Structure 1
Amino acid sequence: MKTVTNLRVYDPHSRELKHLLNHLQNGEIIEASEMSQGTQIKVILDLPDGFEALF
């Protein structure tokens, strides 16, 4: 599955992206942690069903 193009990073119609966005909107955050690499703050959210979100 190719997700990165010169116009977008993710296909807005992908089933996986819709499922992840649903988890972020309605689901429970099981755990939140911070990545220490780099100069920007990166937060990892552990979600139900094994999903993770990185911000």
Structure 2
Amino acid sequence: MYLSRPTQAVFVIAVLLAIAALLIFLNILPFVAIPSFWIMTTAFVLLLLGNLVKGM
């Protein structure tokens, strides 16, 4: 299995999702109904797919 580098867009989206999850966890963004755990999980899965799928 070969890993590839994720594109810059995938990386930026994953980082923004991780920051949003942290802000939700700290109650800085209390109006978001999705738990921060699922947002952070989505960010990590996106990074995982960006490493596993070439060109993503």
Report 1 or 2 for greater relative contact order, CA contacts < 8 Å, sequence distance ≥ 6. Answer: 2
Decide which structure has greater strand share. Answer: 1
